[in-house]
A and B are shown apart, each in its own frame.
Chain A
Amino acid sequence: MKDPLLPQGVEIQSWQQESELVFTFQVEPPEGYGTFRAGQFNMLYLPGIGESAISISGDPADRNHLTHTVRAVGTVTRALRGLRPPARIGLRGPFGRGWPLAAAEGRELLLMAGGIGLAPLRPVLFQALAAPERYRRVTLLLGARSPEELLYAEQLLRWKSDAGLQLLATVDAASAEWRGDVGVITDLVQRAGINPQQTVAMVCGPEIMLRFSARRLRELGVASDAIHVSLERHMQCATGFCGHCQLGPYFLCKDGPVFAYPDVEHYLMTQEF
């Protein structure tokens, strides 16, 4: 019987710094891994330190690499930050329900990412921009603390100039060289000039950003069930066994992490739930 809790050993192939605390690294997919869907995650394991649920930030069409972008804030992620090729780690996955890309076909795709929240949305960009004829338009609204913390900047600019991505970015605070917006991400929504009835939105970031973004989108006329959010709780086992990632009736690890907003709104609006 296959054990869903047993990791497979994989080798780190490349490692790259993104900002002070954020880094991206690639591993070889373990034997029998198959493919992942945009929005899914892997469990990464460091012997003696522990496991952490990390979303997959690379191209779903790339069968030779699994890419993870990580912010070093916990025990496991801080230890991951110190690893370089060809270090070995444990991996199991992919887990979770991904973004409903099929639901967005023929419509406008609006992605909203706050900080590291761009990592689980980047696979959507890879996929959507590779098949632009399927979407009326692809827009990415990006929020970060500072310009230095904007992820994948070069690639996003390339996608903007070559692949038709509509890109708007804002930061909380910036030095004089920053020529973009300063402020909250919800202020960008109106400027994006979306057609609300035609829009499918995918939002990932801090919980407060999800709530305010959903509110703004609805005010503009985007249907509630066309708003999808990716949530975070402590996903320890990824199989629904451990109970840590529950939100009301959901296990985020297997029922999520992506949800239609109306399915989780009541729980997100309840303090300490």
Chain B
Amino acid sequence: MNDTAITFDPDALIQLSGITKTYGQGQAAFQALRGVDLSIRQGEFVAIMGPSGSGKSTAMNILGCLDTPTSGAYLFDGVHVEDLSRDQRALLRRNYLGFVFQGFNLLARTSAQENVELPLLYRGESAEARHEKGMAALRSVGLEAWAHHTSSELSGGQQQRVAIARAIVTDPKVLLADEPTGNLDSKRGHEIMELLVSMNRDRGITILMVTHEPDIAAYAKRIVHFVDGQIAQDDSNGGTA
């Protein structure tokens, strides 16, 4: 697809090169991504913006190793993700990625603590280690006292903080946040952003965040604009926060 030779940035944690994604076939085919090149270094805080249908969600799914590109190369820490099997991508997510979603996506009727410990369960960690790390993660989002409350007993902001605790409990290299403040009022939204900024600053976790709100994107150090399946603008941002 891409004739141009792929140039690798040796310092990049994530490198997309000539990524395309096509849904459907023939007449009904829809090209969501039309050749995306993106390089992200360790420790960056990147906001991905763009109107709906611009391909930002598709790009996020590919970056999160939930989906594979139709063509192009995706290097994650030197590994060609586009060549990995479904289970290999699952292992990559398990060990290096953390997810925060717009709808929180906590397990229902499950305590905050159990939710946070879930990724550790899949990593086969002992009950003791799970408990210790889980409580530490909850402490870092300020919800230690709410460990035994189920999701329905928590406010939206609290639920999102539990989700962040779940995402960072495994010490991931990258945290992917899809509209993390979309379901929150502006005060809670800013609290969540403060939390993400501190995760980026204090723990050095690389954060990729999709948002359509400029004031939320302003927390990021770099803003990537998607339009019609391509990157239209890639700005460095001082970070207003």
Q: Do A and B form a real pair?
A: no
B residues adjacent to A (C-beta < 8 A): none
A residues adjacent to B (C-beta < 8 A): none
